[in-house]
Chains A and B, each alone.
Chain A
Amino acid sequence: MTIRELSDVKFGFTVIFTPLGFGLALVASLVIPTPDAVINDTAYQVILAGLMLLYLATGALAWFRPNRREQFAKCAPFRFVMGLVLLAWDLLGTKYGALPMPFFPGPSKITWVFVEERAFLFTNMLYSLRLYFCGFVSGVVAGVGTGIIIGWFRPANYWIMPALKMTGVIPAVAWMPFALTVFPTSFMAGCFLVSMCAWFPIGFQTARGMQTTQKVYFEVAQTIGGGRLYALFHVALPNALPSIFTGISTANGLAFTTLVMTEMMGARGGLGYYINWAKAWSSYYKVYAAIIIMAVLFSLIMKIISVIQARALVWQKGLTSNVEERG
């Protein structure tokens, strides 16, 4: 029997089983009274209900599309246990106060921050996004640009490559004191640092990808009548594309780190700044809220990049195991 052909009965069971954990957590949150009157359970309960609805909906969708059933069934145990974890956390943190406060607040307290401070959180999130976008995009442009110059011109490889290698190993945040003095605004300084940290891996990988182009492709380009520019933009650069994306993935991780660090140190807005500000008031539950937003935001950015990568490298599908088959 293949897993693909899940019977209706069996699949029906997984559709009920999947949101059951969240359901139990919701019931517990509703039924057991919360001792601390300051804590508002509403946001947490809405989120639980939302998760239940989401999984019921995807389950219903999979009911009509049998090819999705396998995937849904595979995730069922994990989603169920997630619900149980939330249940346990809620009981320990919110209902019975068994965790040391204020460092380990319950889920209700953290999720209520999304309601209570939505405007301030949202503003800070936009700050972070703006800094990430400006810094990372300029880093990608600078990195690919430098990589092309190094990968294409021999003298540039001789003179610039060692400089790139030397400055590349320095964590970008080490330039912070310098950046904060030189640039007129903390935003520009942050932009510079994020773009610096992205510049090195992308530049290096672009150059390497171009330099490893097989000679025969250049000879083909010549015999079909292509000039130097054709060889650069239609041979060396496409050949470098997989390694450019390797550079971009590496740079992305570094950029998140640099982003949060610069916000914590010099900035007047952003999620890193928010964490610092919340910490100053000992509002650790707000720190958790910001961390959750970061997790969601950064995962989303990574997902977007991997979608772009899969699109750009569609020709590699089946050629290497580089490109993920599914998200």
Chain B
Amino acid sequence: MSKNVVEVVGVCRTYKSARGEEVHALENVSLTVSEGEFVSIIGSSGCGKTTLLRLVAGLDKPQSGTCSLNGAPIVAPSPKSGYVFQQQSLFPWLTVEGNIASGLKARGVYKQYKDEVPKYISLVGLDGFEHSYPHQISGGMAQRAAIARSLINRPSVLLLDEPMGALDSFTRAGLQDKLLEIWRANGTTMILVTHDIDEAIYLSDKIVIMTPRPGKVSEVLEVKFPHPRHRGGAEFLGLRRVILEKLNLASAQPQPEYRI
């Protein structure tokens, strides 16, 4: 039995909205992720999935409940949990190589591990782009560089906040395969936040479905069939149908009225 890397127990997080109303971003959310697992968190926007990921990263604190990484409570961001942001987050003043090395430099261990930098550049397939600046490369390449920057610190878990959200579908498919390749090569535990059902099925061992207002986990599905997964295969489409039903998206039906 593999050990749990991430444990979230009974977490609540509320915000004050701009109008002064209390927004329950997360209500009594629990989640465990074991070592080497690929977990996707899926749900419509506003269901608190990014909030949950930020709690695990230590970028935010819960009002109640606990989050722990390798058994120790999470109190602040640490290189043990790598985070890949949704938007472009490479430092524009550093080259691809400089950005990836910044992971080591920030910890003050660059001299010891500088041989790692070219390895991680190759791992994410950016050979030949070492000396390019972020605005000179494509969005998909920038996200791969951001992944390498986090991975170079050998995190216990890599947290991915819709890293493919801003990419076109071809680039997205390429990056998904890259992610699987890295996952297999490094065995890093991954938590991916997404609103793309296909992406979740294609990549994960476990899919966590969240529902909004208040944000909570409604279901956890295991994805048993092996990689490589065929996006048009019967098992794939079957699971897709199940998830669509869970998310109430399976057929046209009157949507609840939202106040805007």
**Residues in A whose Cβ lies below 8 Å from that of B124:** none
* Shortest Cβ distance from residue B95 to the other chain A in the assembled complex, whole angstroms: 8
* Shortest Cβ distance from residue A210 to the other chain B in the assembled complex, whole angstroms: 13
Q: Complex: how many Å from CA A262 to CA B192?
A: 64
Identify the interface centre among A225, A235, A316, A317: most chain B CB within 10 Å of its CB: A225
- Would you call the interface of chain B mostly helix, strand, loop, or mixed? loop
Q: Cβ of B81 and Cβ of A223 under 8 Å apart?
A: yes
Q: Complex: how many Å from CA A241 to CA B83?
A: 26
- Would you call the interface of chain A mostly helix, strand, loop, or mixed? helix
A residues sitting closer than 8 Å to B (CB atoms) are 216-217, 219-226, 230, 234-235, 238-239, 241, 315-319
**Residues in B whose Cβ lies below 8 Å from that of A224:** 79, 82, 102-103, 106-107, 149-150, 153
**Residues in A whose Cβ lies below 8 Å from that of B241:** none
A221: contacting residue among B58, B78, B92, B106, CB under 8 A: B106
* Shortest Cβ distance from residue A201 to the other chain B in the assembled complex, whole angstroms: 22
Q: Cβ of B85 and Cβ of A230 under 8 Å apart?
A: no
B77: contacting residue among A216, A217, A219, A315, CB under 8 A: A219
B residues sitting closer than 8 Å to A (CB atoms) are 57-59, 76-79, 81-83, 85, 87, 89, 91-95, 102-103, 105-107, 133, 135-136, 149-150, 153
**Residues in B whose Cβ lies below 8 Å from that of A238:** 91, 93
**Residues in B whose Cβ lies below 8 Å from that of A318:** 135-136
* Shortest Cβ distance from residue B67 to the other chain A in the assembled complex, whole angstroms: 15
* Shortest Cβ distance from residue B259 to the other chain A in the assembled complex, whole angstroms: 28
- Whether A225 touches B107, Cβ cut-off 8 Å, given contacts A219-B77, A219-B83, A219-B85, is yes
Q: Complex: how many Å from CA A238 to CA B82?
A: 23
Q: Cβ of A225 and Cβ of B153 under 8 Å apart?
A: yes
List, sorted by A's number, 12 A–B pairs whose CB atoms are closer than 8 Å. A219-B85, A221-B106, A223-B79, A223-B82, A224-B82, A225-B106, A225-B107, A225-B153, A226-B107, A234-B102, A315-B93, A318-B136
Q: Cβ of B91 and Cβ of A230 under 8 Å apart?
A: no
**Residues in A whose Cβ lies below 8 Å from that of B89:** 216-217, 219-220
